[in-house]
Chain A
Amino acid sequence: MSAGAPGARGPMLAVALLIPIFAVNALVFFWPTFNLFKMSFIRGEATGALTDETTLANWTGLFRDSFYSELLVSSVTISLVITALTLVLSYPIALYLHRARGLRRTVLLVLVISPLLTSAVVRTYGWIAILSDGGLVNSLLKALGLPAQRLIFNTQGVVLGLAEILMPYMILALLAGFGRLDARLEEAAATLGARPRQAFWRVVLPLSLPGVMLGCLLCFVLAVSSFITPKLLGGGRVFLLATEIYDQAIVTLNWPLAATLSMVVLIVFGLALALYARAARL
């Protein structure tokens, strides 16, 4: 970036030009976020009314009530399962795309990105059409004379739906990682006698690890904080951090607890990021 000639009134002009964006962020980002942090230390009454007292009870309560420790463990576990499934489903597409050229590549890339332009509500609704009791999968099972399966309003449904929703992010991260994968390396491996399977496990996969790690970080973080898909496909039976935050905020009106759970989500984010930074250095 090359700078123009700011001149003497540069800084003053810059300040003036930055006032609107600063005002919006101050009102709708800085203040609310700081307030949320404060809220996690405020004592609320059972009626939902807030007091002026500060307390650590919201935080210690999380550890005393086993519901919340289980909520945290199940949120992280389910998000890890979703991340792993997303990776397994996305890897073949990314590798295929990496090797494709020309029109085929362009068309497939558009197909990968187009779900991102489709609302998460719509895609989740599509999963309900596939997985519900009268849905596509159960109709197929019935036609084959097999017993019907309960596929939604449970953890399975949430995992399948979210894995699909997160695939485009994973594919794009993997594609970025494949940048360092030179086709000549695979040819060299083949020339030296490696069978295709060996070449994949010993050459392709290790070289693609940076992309894999980036994609996994991205998907894990998005899975932990996702709300629409778990709410709709979980049908109120799958309890996750994000759905609990919403219920506490809107239904129970326990803002201090919702704020504390939000801070927990941010702490999980921070830990995931730290883990990624450590893994990326190795």
Chain B
Amino acid sequence: MDERPASPTLTILASLAFVFLLAPVVIVLPLSFSGDAFMAFPPQSWSARWYAAIFSHARLIEAFFVSLGLAATVTALSLMIALPATYALVRLRPPGAEAMFSLFTAPLLLPTIVLGLAILIVFAGLGLLGTWRGLLLAHLVVCTPYALRVLATSLANLPADVEQAAATLGARPATVFRRVTLPLMLPGVAATGALCFLVSFDETVLSLFMTGPRISTLPVEMFHHVESRADPLVAAVSVLLVGFTLLVVVLVDRSLGLGKAFLKGG
């Protein structure tokens, strides 16, 4: 199909809506170079003082490393849990496979404010609140559904005949999975890993229920900071975060074709 010129009315309306959509993300960049003590836009003076302030803010730095370690662990564990489950549900197809698939992706249907409260009440009794293990478990329950979904699409799109050929030639099931299925699924696995990492790194509401004075994540610290004071510090953190997210996406895209994997697997 050829591109049809959009009418002037539509172009104007769409442009205005785009300005509205992108304004809050774009405004953060100039704000981060503010030299003011308080948030004002446009800033009265310019400086890099808020970038410097990040590094003297020990709690923020600590929270960043908690988030980083947490996201990496959650990603690895999500893959280790979801990969066998995907293989079982898509290839072995036990009775009730469809129902189980729905059941294991159901945590995504629940609002995080409700899920967070539910986990809070149970974890309070188990002494898991404000612990690294508690955060890890809470993140796992929202990351494994994404992992299961993307991996299942990726596996279902693989032609089963290659695996059957390997089996016919005498390879045992474990060997077939390790030497044939897994390498073919690699783009899907990479996309899943990136998705789990970003979901965990960005997760705020569940973490708000799980964190405490002893342990906190970066989004939670940013939330509390915005809640309690209005200064340009969070703008500087946000710019670094957006850069970090872009880096993750570009890295995975360069090495394994995230766009392709997402289009096929999304």
Contact = CB atoms under 8 A, between A and B. Distances in A.
B64 interface: no
A203 interface: no
B59 to A, nearest CB: 16
Main secondary structure on B side of the interface with A: helix
Given A101-B1, A225-B113, A249-B120, A17 B85 contact: yes
Contacts of A123: 24-25
A132 B38 CA distance: 12
A277 B140 CA distance: 31
How big is the B interface, by class?
35 or more
Given A4-B164, A117-B249, A93 B103 contact: no
Contacts of A121: 204, 219, 222-223, 226, 234
A14 B27 contact: no
Contacts of A266: 110, 114
B214 to A, nearest CB: 16
A129 B3 contact: no
Interface stretch (A32-40, A51-59, A60-68, A207-215): A32-40
Interface of A: 1-7, 10-11, 13-15, 17-18, 20-22, 24-25, 27-29, 31-33, 35-36, 39, 89-90, 92-93, 95-96, 99-102, 104, 108, 111-112, 114-115, 117-130, 132, 134-136, 139, 161, 164, 167-168, 183, 196, 221, 224-225, 227-228, 231-232, 242, 245-246, 249-250, 255, 258-259, 262, 265-266, 269
Interface in B14-64: 14, 16-18, 20-28, 31, 38-42
Contacts of A6: 92-93
Contacts of A183: 1, 4
Contacts of A36: 114, 117-118, 121
B41 A134 contact: yes
Given A28-B138, A121-B204, A132-B230, A33 B118 contact: yes
10 contacts: A18-B85, A111-B22, A119-B204, A122-B25, A124-B24, A126-B25, A132-B39, A164-B24, A228-B223, A265-B113
Residue among B41, B141, B230 with the highest chain A CB neighbour number at 10 A: B41
A120 to B, nearest CB: 7
Contacts of B260: none
A35 B122 CA distance: 8
A238 B99 CA distance: 40
Contacts of B110: 33, 266
Interface in B143-188: 144, 148, 156, 160, 163-164, 167, 173
Contacts of A167: 17, 20-21
B264 interface: no
A225 B91 CA distance: 36
A141 B238 CA distance: 27
A93 B14 contact: yes
Residue among B4, B89, B90, B91 with max Cβ neighbours from chain A (10 Å): B91
B100 interface: yes
Contacts of A25: 103-104, 107, 141, 144
A125 to B, nearest CB: 5
B245 A117 contact: yes
A11 B91 CA distance: 11
Contacts of A115: 21-22, 25
A129 B113 contact: no
B114 to A, nearest CB: 4
7 nearest interchain CB pairs? A126-B24, A225-B111, A32-B118, A134-B40, A92-B13, A96-B14, A17-B84
A161 B92 CA distance: 46
A33 B115 CA distance: 7
A94 B20 CA distance: 14
Contacts of B76: none
B119 A129 contact: no
